[in-house]
A and B are shown apart, each in its own frame.
Chain A
Amino acid sequence: MATRSVSQSGDPVEVHQRPWLTTRRVIIIVSTIVFLALFGIPLLNVGYKMVETPSLFLQQVVTGLTKGTYLAIIALGYTLVYGIIELINFAHGEVYMMGAFFSLSLIGLFGLSGESSALALTFGLVGIMICTMTFTAVLNASIERFAYRPLRNAPRLAPLISAIGVSFMLQNVGILWGDHNLWDNLADWTGIDRLTRIGDAMGSNMVAPKSFPSLLPNRQVPFIPDSWFTFTWKSLLVVVVSLSLLGALYAFVRFTKLGKAMRATAQDRDASRLMGINVDLTISLTFLIGGALGGAAGMLVGLYTGTAVFNMGFTAGLLAFTAAVLGGIGNILGSALGGLLIGLLLALSDQYLGSRWSNAVIFAILVLILVFRPTGLLGEEGGQKA
């Protein structure tokens, strides 16, 4: 024990000869042996499979990274909010789900389908994305205003529980939203017949997954030969939109006056007030941005996977939150990196180990990384924020 305390405190006064075989090293060696004994052969097998058909491996890498880009966008929502008020916004996954539902409703309302003209689709989808992002931005900021702000000086558990509560409430809203009877009745009361179209888009079963019409071209992009790997216009769109959002956010936080005020507020709230920064507004702004990103991700995922379901926010939220922690929560680039990594791991593990193992693999790797870098991959000592 004595040697351990010396090595940890790093106190130069107490330096004396340390035995090579410290407790820590023993633990590492033993656990490595146990790990290899248990998983060595399966791992070799996986490695062999990866090399055996490189095209399949490459395909999974591409699929994983595509998935990773939208996970990254969701992860940013967690990381921004955590950076500024040190709250894990458990409702963020549900904001993302609401984004998917809202965009599906608008798609139904405007009657966009695979048969619509390219022009109508382009403008329709861009318009719907803007509406969706506005909707989820306002939703997220309202959640902060009514569920978190009143608890700002309460013990830290209080807003956390409040967040979990909001998350469940929104899941129920998702169930109600998916009930076509609701929309039919609304259409009757208001006399707006168009509302029944939303009901049609939701299908007959309120809790069942909703299907998005296939609006994005599912053809191979021309500049990548089929023989390498499949990469469709749909995937390209997801990647391009996600990366642009990420880039825009990074530039905003890094270079604009408001972005700097966000970082300042994250680092020292009282000092920010002394600078004349309206802290409440800045926090609202953060939730607006996080919500907009979540909504965009919801719509992208809906279009990409073709489905939306009321509890989609839980699974995706968990993965995205993990991504944020993995990369260093509070750090924008770290969270984006974490998202890409998780997407990659997910795809590879789905392919080579079977999807039922994927969560175990992801969290095992998370634990492993946190043991060696407790602040995440890009997180800094004391936690760099936003």
Chain B
Amino acid sequence: MLQLNDIHTYYGNIHALKGISLHIDQGEIVTLIGANGAGKSTTLRTISGITPPRRGRVLFEDQEINGIPAHNIVKLGISQSPEGRHIFPNLTVRENLEMGAFTRNDKQGIEEDMERAFNLFPRLRERSSQRGGTLSGGEQQMLAIGRALMARPRMLLLDEPSMGLAPVLVDQIFEIVQNINEQGTTILLVEQNALMALSIAHRGYVLQTGEIVLADSAAALRDNEMVQKAYLGIE
């Protein structure tokens, strides 16, 4: 469904992604794990077109999408819940969700998806007329995910959905991610919490300083000695 071929992305002179190749098939949850600065978020930003690659190709359903401006990539069916949530602090919760559906014009469909988002995250319904900036961290994360779903994406990019959340909330968020996947959305999940990520993902890639060092099924990665040492904290 999505394929990255030898992607090189730069921030100015900094070579952030050094030839990343990966693929995600329809219906999968694939996770990218790695340390801070390994290039996980950059990979997502590259797919979304925020930081286009300098070399290499991004294929979405066999169409080359690198070079397409970010605002048009959403229309193709890829949406992202960015790292640090980046909700709009001065828009209400409802307005934030409406922005998620910016590219769509089917009023009824948007209303249905709004309902679906409120059912996934009942807290958001309670706070629908409150400003985004007044929500707690966990609620903001729910809003960011709900907002990304409002584009009715076929492929959802999730960047650190568990960051800064209480453990109870982390479990809840991951359950919902799995739930979204079961409803038919393919998911690329970036996580520092490798244990959680590998527990719901089908496959995973391990990133180290801009390169993929390991690719395997989630179960195999969990058993991998290097992964256990470096990312799961198991000696």
The reply to whether A263 and B88 form a contact with Cβ atoms under 8 Å apart is yes
List chain A residues, Cβ under 8 A from B87: 271
In the complex formed, the residue of B with least CB distance to A266 is B90
The reply to whether A267 and B88 form a contact with Cβ atoms under 8 Å apart is yes
User: Is A272 in the interface zone, CB < 8 Å from B?
Assistant: yes
List chain A residues, Cβ under 8 A from B86: 268, 270-271, 274
The reply to whether B50 and A273 form a contact with Cβ atoms under 8 Å apart is yes
The B-contacting residues of A in range 242-274, CB under 8 angstroms, are 257, 260-261, 263-264, 267-268, 270-274
The reply to whether A257 and B98 form a contact with Cβ atoms under 8 Å apart is yes
The A-contacting residues of B in range 10-62, CB under 8 angstroms, are 48-50
User: Is A276 in the interface zone, CB < 8 Å from B?
Assistant: yes
User: Is A56 in the interface zone, CB < 8 Å from B?
Assistant: no
List chain B residues, Cβ under 8 A from A268: 86, 88
Give CA–CA (A321, B126) in the complex, Å: 40
User: Is A279 in the interface zone, CB < 8 Å from B?
Assistant: yes
In the complex formed, the residue of A with least CB distance to B74 is A276
The reply to whether A264 and B88 form a contact with Cβ atoms under 8 Å apart is yes
The reply to whether B90 and A274 form a contact with Cβ atoms under 8 Å apart is no
The reply to whether A277 and B102 form a contact with Cβ atoms under 8 Å apart is yes
List chain A residues, Cβ under 8 A from B82: 270-271, 274
List chain A residues, Cβ under 8 A from B88: 263-264, 267-268, 271
List chain A residues, Cβ under 8 A from B50: 270, 273-274
List chain A residues, Cβ under 8 A from B70: 273-274
User: Is B207 in the interface zone, CB < 8 Å from A?
Assistant: no
Whether A385 touches B79, Cβ cut-off 8 Å, given contacts A260-B95, A275-B147, A279-B71, is no
The reply to whether B99 and A277 form a contact with Cβ atoms under 8 Å apart is yes
Give CA–CA (A264, B148) in the complex, Å: 15
List chain B residues, Cβ under 8 A from A273: 48-50, 69-71
**Interface residues in B, total, Cβ within 8 A:** 27
User: Is B190 in the interface zone, CB < 8 Å from A?
Assistant: no
The reply to whether B75 and A276 form a contact with Cβ atoms under 8 Å apart is yes
At the interface, is chain A mostly helix, strand, loop or mixed? helix
Give CA–CA (A381, B102) in the complex, Å: 28
List chain B residues, Cβ under 8 A from A261: 99, 102
Give CA–CA (A72, B102) in the complex, Å: 31
Whether A276 touches B90, Cβ cut-off 8 Å, given contacts A260-B95, A270-B50, A270-B82, is no
Chain B CB count within 10 A is highest, among A260, A271, A279, for: A271
Give CA–CA (A292, B72) in the complex, Å: 29
Chain A CB count within 10 A is highest, among B71, B79, B98, B100, for: B71
The reply to whether A275 and B74 form a contact with Cβ atoms under 8 Å apart is yes
The reply to whether B98 and A260 form a contact with Cβ atoms under 8 Å apart is yes
Bitwise interface map of B from 86 to 114 toward A, beta carbon under 8 Å scored 1, else 0: 11111100010011101100000000000
List chain B residues, Cβ under 8 A from A384: 90
Give CA–CA (A308, B84) in the complex, Å: 51
Chain B CB count within 10 A is highest, among A271, A275, A277, A385, for: A275
List chain B residues, Cβ under 8 A from A264: 88, 91, 99
User: Is A45 in the interface zone, CB < 8 Å from B?
Assistant: no
User: Is B80 in the interface zone, CB < 8 Å from A?
Assistant: yes
In the complex formed, the residue of B with least CB distance to A271 is B86
B227 to chain A, nearest CB (A): 30
User: Is B158 in the interface zone, CB < 8 Å from A?
Assistant: no
User: Is A278 in the interface zone, CB < 8 Å from B?
Assistant: yes
A86 to chain B, nearest CB (A): 15
One of A257, A260, A263, A277 near B71 (C-beta < 8 A): A277
B66 to chain A, nearest CB (A): 15
B205 to chain A, nearest CB (A): 22
User: Is B189 in the interface zone, CB < 8 Å from A?
Assistant: no
Chain A CB count within 10 A is highest, among B70, B89, B151, for: B70
Give CA–CA (A274, B74) in the complex, Å: 7
In the complex formed, the residue of A with least CB distance to B45 is A270
In the complex formed, the residue of A with least CB distance to B44 is A274
Bitwise interface map of B from 186 to 219 toward A, beta carbon under 8 Å scored 1, else 0: 0000000000000000000000000000000000
B129 to chain A, nearest CB (A): 13
Whether A385 touches B90, Cβ cut-off 8 Å, given contacts A273-B71, A275-B147, A277-B71, is yes
The reply to whether A257 and B91 form a contact with Cβ atoms under 8 Å apart is no
The reply to whether B89 and A267 form a contact with Cβ atoms under 8 Å apart is yes
Give CA–CA (A257, B99) in the complex, Å: 8
The B-contacting residues of A in range 264-317, CB under 8 angstroms, are 264, 267-268, 270-279
B155 to chain A, nearest CB (A): 13
List chain B residues, Cβ under 8 A from A257: 98, 102
Give CA–CA (A276, B98) in the complex, Å: 12
List chain A residues, Cβ under 8 A from B72: 276
In the complex formed, the residue of A with least CB distance to B84 is A271
Whether A276 touches B95, Cβ cut-off 8 Å, given contacts A263-B88, A270-B50, A385-B90, is no
One of B75, B79, B91 near A260 (C-beta < 8 A): B91
Give CA–CA (A149, B67) in the complex, Å: 20
Give CA–CA (A276, B69) in the complex, Å: 9
List chain B residues, Cβ under 8 A from A276: 71-72, 74-75, 102-103, 151
The reply to whether B102 and A267 form a contact with Cβ atoms under 8 Å apart is no
List chain A residues, Cβ under 8 A from B80: 274
Interface residues of A (CB under 8 A from B): 257, 260-261, 263-264, 267-268, 270-279, 384-385
- A261-B102, A267-B89, A274-B82 given. 9 additional CB < 8 A pairs? A257-B102, A264-B88, A264-B91, A264-B99, A273-B48, A273-B70, A274-B70, A274-B74, A276-B71
**Sample of 8 A–B contacts (CB below 8 Å):** A267-B89, A273-B71, A274-B74, A274-B79, A275-B102, A276-B72, A278-B71, A384-B90
